[in-house]
Amino acid sequence: MTSALRGQLAGRALLVVFMVLTLVPFVTLFSTALQPAGSIPTGVSWPSDPQWGNFAEAWDLANLSTLTRSSLLIVLGVVPASLLLAALAGYGLATLRVPFANAIFLLFVLGLTIPFESLITPLYYQVQALGLLNTRWALILPLIALYMPFGVFWMRAHFLTVPAELTEAATIDGAGPWRAFRHVHLPLAVPALSSLAILLFLWTWNQFVLAIVMVDDPTKRTMAGALGAFQGQYGTDIVLLSAGALLIMAPTILVFVVFQRQFSRALLQGAVKG
Amino acid sequence: MTQAVDPAVRSSEERAAVDARPRRTARRRSSSGRSWWHLVYVAPALATYAFFVIRPLVTSVQYSFYDWNGIGPATWVGLDNYRRILTDSGQLSIVAHAFELMLFFTVVPVALGLVAAALMHGLPRGSFSTVARTVLFIPQVIPLVAAGIVWDWVYSSDGIANQLLSAIGLGGITRPWLADFSTALPAVGLIGSWVMLGLCTLLLLTGITRIDPSLYEAARIDGASRLGEFRHVTLPGLRREIGVCLTVTMIAALASFDIIYISTQGGPGRSTMVPGVEIYRLAFTQREIGQASAMAVILMVVVLATVVPIQRYTQRSDA
């Protein structure tokens, strides 16, 4: 019993250490963001007169109103389309008899291992040929495709857990595959779809390499891409940079905390994505 | 594939069905028409994927055989681009850096995660462990770009790393960690450890809760120590989860981009240059599309060669 208790204590202690290590960088960023603008602060020191106005200034300088709108437009372009295509394909591969189903699935799984950087050069010229460079479509269309392997993988895994009797029952009732999908499978897939939606939102919001390659104008980029530009411009003003970085991270942390349950489930079960 | 023989198939009215050749031949006749129709469900995803992933993949391989500046005419150079990378120690060290990063992105978080998960396993569920889970996950959800910016500041001359070192009397070793040739790569690597630790811990913890408790009882009855229990019950029981952790973190190490681009740009010198950033530099600042593409192909091959054996070994269905 005592050994179990000691184990528990060690567990708690280690957890506390990990939590501190995780949080320290944020604490120093936060305390820096509140220093007088243009000053040269050190590590962690609570400012005598916290400058909350720095956040407002960073918001204006980084053009965050425009940026939020831009990022949301990109998210709206990517997420619903990805969900629809992934749900259809996952349903087809898991439940229906699609020719070459295994080969098709393998092709998608292969995509899970492809680093984005390996595709970025040809993608650039391909998007240029379509005349879409420097538009949000240059991010939306490739991202839908780049997230498709995970989406299909995820939705197929979900549809495989649906008992076959359910499909059979629907078929006996005279429902074709489409009606079975619409009225039986899709409603049951809502939890899986919402987890996927949250993941896709975060990946899109945080997408960087595609954003800096495809779009020159930071205000048409994703949030992470814009943050990169902001660093380039205000990198020497550590106070403003800290405030800007915090503002840009805040929505991701907020979404995570609010949807934590779906989120950890998705990330833990579906962590196969690279 | 094996289109040969089988006259029964040949005589079928639908020529298309010959190529389809589902394995369950007996059922084929009745179901083949419907099966082809079912492709409609997969087609939109497959078409998008083919156009924006498979096609650039093929183009990447194609580009890698040419010398091209992105605008003018391209010259066929065969395997020259590959030869240049594989015989140049500078270029090879870029690939080596990616493997060194694995030590920090993979080994550190998986090892620490195993210890933490094993210790946390005994903890009662409560608000403490819920808060811990939430906090440990945060580095996973923020943009990696932001992680790069945060750590850039942590490591800087006036940053908290040096502040802490001075406070404990180690002022002598303080330095701008990311600007020092000997410390830049490990420093960048530790950012990866920070990002990956929470994910690995929680993945492994989820795995542990799935291990049959009777195995632990049996080990205890056999008089196994805590360490023996860990080696003979926990580790084998976590094979799949460890496999996932290894896969995810290794891909993250080999294909790292955001953190390095933001914190060091590959410098000082080329001491933290990795394949991802090098591809970007070659393609978009040097305009050496062929070289960039050869590096891109090499990166894909390296990732596959690393990940496939791990998947094979850890995701066998007998667990």
pLDDT tens digits, A213-269: 999 888 888 888 888 888 888 777 888 888 889 998 998 999 888 888 777 666 666
Q: B-chain residues within 8 Å CB-CB of A253?
A: 138, 141-142
Q: Has residue A246 been placed in a domain? A: yes
Taking CA–CA distances from A214, the nearest residue in chain B reads: B284
In order, the DSSP letters of A201-237 are HHHHHT--HHHHHH-SSGGGS-HHHHHHHHHHHHTT-
Nearest by Cα to B209 from B124, B103, B318 = B124
DSSP summary character for residue B177: G
Average pLDDT, chain B: 84
| Number of domains comprising chain A | 2
Would residue A113 count as lying in a domain? yes
Q: List for chain A the helix, strand, coil content (%; round to 5).
A: 80, 0, 20
What is the C-alpha separation between B279 and A32, in angstroms, rounded?
34
For residue A143, tell me if it sits in a domain: yes
DSSP letter at B47 equals H
**Same domain, yes or no: A174 and A115:** yes
CATH of the domain at A164: 1.10.3720.10
Q: Which of A113, A238, A256 to mutate to test the interface with B (most CBs of B within 10 A)?
A: A113
User: Which of B81, B297, B195 lies closest to A114, judged by CA?
Assistant: B297
Residues A164, A220, single domain; the answer is yes
Query: Is A105 found in the same domain as A6?
Result: no
Q: Which residues contact B97 (CB under 8 A, 6 or more apart)?
A: B185, B272, B273, B274
Task: Kindly state whether residues A25 and A124 are assigned to the same domain.
Answer: no
**Residues A197 and A145 both lie in one domain:** yes
Segment 192-221 of chain A within 8 Å of chain B by CB? 202, 205-206, 208-209, 213
Residues of B with Cβ-Cβ distance to A233 under 8 angstroms: none
pLDDT for the residue numbered B273: 95
- Using the 3D structure, point to which of A11, A36, A56 is the last residue of a domain: A56
Q: Of A34, A56, A78, at which residue does a domain stop?
A: A56
Residues A27 and A103 in one domain: no
Q: Given CB atoms, is B159 within the 8 Å cutoff of chain A?
A: yes
ipTM of the modeled complex: 0.87
CB-based contact (8 Å) between A4 and chain B?
yes
Distances (CA, A) of B169 to A20, A213, B45: 21, 45, 59
**Residue A39 maps to a domain:** yes
Q: Is residue A274 part of a domain?
A: no
Residues A94 and A195 in one domain: yes
The answer to whether the Cβ–Cβ distance between A8 and B123 falls below 8 Å is yes
Q: Is residue A261 part of a domain?
A: yes
Verify whether the Cβ–Cβ distance A271 to B248 is below 8 Å.
yes
Look up the CATH number of domain B89-314: 1.10.3720.10
Among B38, B119, B292, select the one facing A98 at the smallest CB separation.
B38
pLDDT digits (tens, 9 = 90+) for A60-75: 888 888 888 989 999 9
Q: Are residues A25 and A146 in the same domain?
A: no
Same domain membership, residue A69 and residue A48 = no
Per-residue pLDDT at B34: 54
Please indicate, yes or no, if residue A171 is contained in any of the structural domains. Answer: yes
Contact state of A245 with B150 under an 8 Å Cβ cutoff: yes
For helices B289-314 and B80-87, the axis angle rounded to 10 degrees is 70
Q: Are B100 and B189 in contact, with CB atoms under 8 Å apart?
A: yes
* Residue A51 belongs to domain spanning: 2-56
To probe the interface with A, which of B112, B134, B160 has the most A CB atoms within 10 Å? B160
Assign A200 to helix, strand or coil.
helix
User: Residue B270 carries which DSSP code?
Assistant: T
* In a shared domain, residues A123 and A170: yes
Distance to chain A for B142, nearest Cα, Å: 6
Q: Is A267 on the interface with B (CB under 8 A)?
A: yes
Tokens of A163: 């008992």
Do A32 and B284 make contact, defined as CB atoms within 8 angstroms?
no
Which tens digits make up the pLDDT trace of B218-263?
A: 888 888 887 888 888 889 989 888 998 999 999 999 999 999 999 9
Parse chain B into domains and list their residue ranges.
7-63, 89-314
* Same-domain status, A112 and A175: yes
* Of A35, A56, A77, the domain-final residue: A56
